[in-house]
Amino acid sequence: MVVTETISGLREQIARLRQSGKRIAFVPTMGNLHAGHVRLMQEARNHAQAVVASIYVNPLQFGQNEDFDSYPRTASHDKVALLSAGVDMLFKPAESEMCPRGREAQTVVEVPGLSNELCGAFRPGHFRGVTTVVNRLFNLVAPDVAVFGKKDYQQWLLVRLMTSDLGLPVEIIGVDTVREPDGLALSSRNNYLSPEERKTAPRLYEALCRLRDRVLREGMHLAAVEENAVIDLQSDGFRPDYVNVRRQSDLQLPGADDRKLVALAAAWLGQTRLIDNVEFELKS
């Protein structure tokens, strides 16, 4: 696996891959890799002859009083995971490479509207930071395909919208959430959970599954099922930010004729904010 920390080194390696006629798939990450990330890299291999990953803890997507400084940085562990996944190249830039004029002077890219809903309503500026850095990475790596996990459903959709709006020649692939045996969605932030919180955490997924089943059984009484899910989570010790059912295609409120839906939730358990979602489809 080739490792480069500079844009010049990255471009040199990308040029070599292009000269050899290889199709390139890209998996951007913030490190602290787990089996979910490995699954993304395995999927990337299905779409290209060369897999490039990046590790960059993006300061632009962290708000005030969020966990940028304490976010887990696990270089040795990550190297093993990347090698096991068969990654060909790792781009691991310093902040000076990604924001050469500083954070405040960095040109930003934002998808209006949806960036400020759901998680965006509770983390102002978060998705602007995501799309700004993902766009920069796309321009530097110039991949044919990029692979994202659908656990971060809103992020995945915003990257798709940004790529389409800017006319970037990158195919965006979404990969289903990888879960622990008890249903908990894999996430780097699961490491923050205490042993007791870890026992409780799968109930977020369980609440979304109950919501899905109730909608499938009783129809589109969304306000009631969303409220019941919030009450369920509160009774389990969560502090929900939101529980909502939206249209899969654009995360807008579903209409009477919409069939492909997704239930999304964000909730705090102790000091840890967990997110999850469940896709489902109504019968005609």
| Catalytic annotation, residues | 37
Contacts 24+ apart (CB under 8 A), 104-113: 106/60, 106/132, 107/132, 108/60, 108/132, 109/135, 109/162, 109/166, 111/158, 111/161, 111/162, 111/165
- Nearest alpha-carbon partner for 126 in 117, 138, 139, 135: 117
CB 224 within 8 A of CB 232: no
